[in-house]
Amino acid sequence: MARYSGASCRICRRENLKLFLKGDRCYSDKCAFERRSFAPGQHGQNRFRKPSDYAVQLREKQKVKHLYGVFEAQFRRFFAEAERVRGVTGATLLSMLERRLDNVVYRLGFASSRTQGRQMVRHSLVTINGHKVNIPSYQVKVGDIVSLKEKQQKSELVADNLQGAARRGVPSWLELDAKAFKGTVKALPNRDEITLPIQEQLIVELYSK
């Protein structure tokens, strides 16, 4: 499947929100969004036209897709599944995206970004309950133990990532044992624990048309 290979910082500028797609770089003075917090392109600073309701809904969907690194077909499948589950569709959708294995690896601090977390999962460096899982979209469940393979535990990159994770913190629905390089899923993520400014109801309205 194709994957976006352009500059990640352009995505943040397009969505007018820092999505932390570049790991530690997003916390440094090199962050392009901090230096140029306007839309990319020749006329990025001169776009004053008020967007339509559809445009606002579309941008919200695109923002969430870019944040979790999924494409349209996969995002639609997540939405369809969220609609079938009892509860608030928008909150359920975000909960399912949070439970993706690549996101959990990032949230635990083993990776500096979701992209790096996806690469680690693809390269079979992550196990669930002692079993190899190389599917980034795998949905973790309560009680699952996510750990790194022994060889990866000696990596300087992982050590640096865990130090960076201490700055942003680990969500309360996960429990990190940094010394053992493993984390436990204590509960399903709820809406209050997703702190980025996401208006999921706009996505529900967009797909309900």
| Average per-residue pLDDT for the chain | 83
Average pLDDT, stretch 18-26? 58
Tell how strand 182-185 and strand 145-148 pair up.
Answer: antiparallel
pLDDT at 76: 94
* Residue 54 covered by a domain: no
User: What does 188-209 look like in DSSP terms, one character per residue?
Assistant: ---GGG--S---HHHHHHHHT-
* Residue 200 covered by a domain: no
**Residue 33 has which token pair?**
């969004």
User: What's the rounded Cα separation, in Å, for the pair 118 and 156?
Assistant: 18
* Residue 176 three-state SS: strand
* Residue 202 covered by a domain: no
Provide the edge-to-edge strand list for the sheet that holds 131-132. 131-132, 126-128, 145-148, 182-185, 174-177
* Residue 81 covered by a domain: no
pLDDT confidence of 198, banded at 50, 70, 90?
Answer: confident
Asked if the model's pLDDT at residue 110 lies above 70, the reply is: yes
Q: Domain containing 14 — which CATH number?
A: 1.10.1050.10
Asked if the model's pLDDT at residue 124 lies above 90, the reply is: yes
- Asked if residues 146 and 101 have their Cβ atoms less than 8 Å apart, the reply is yes
Q: CA-based diameter of the chain, in Å?
A: 54
Does an H or E element contain 185, and which?
Answer: strand 182-185
What is the tally of structural domains in the chain?
Answer: 2
User: What's the rounded Cα separation, in Å, for the pair 9 and 169?
Assistant: 23
Domain, as residue range, for 33: 1-49
Average pLDDT, stretch 118-147? 94
Question: What is each CA distance from 35 to 113, 197, 198, in whole angstroms?
Answer: 20, 21, 23
pLDDT at 155: 86
Task: Please tell me whether residues 114 and 183 are part of one structural domain.
Answer: yes
Task: Please tell me whether residues 41 and 105 are part of one structural domain.
Answer: no
pTM of the shown model: 0.80
Q: Domain containing 159 — which CATH number?
A: 3.10.290.10
pLDDT at 140: 96
pLDDT at 167: 77
Radius of gyration of the chain (CA): 18
In the chain, the amino acid numbered 135 is I
Average pLDDT, stretch 138-148? 95
Asked if the model's pLDDT at residue 83 lies above 90, the reply is: yes
* Residue 168 covered by a domain: yes
Residues 6+ apart with CB under 8 A from 84: none
**Cβ of 135: how many Cβ atoms within 10 Å?**
12
Average pLDDT, stretch 154-167? 83
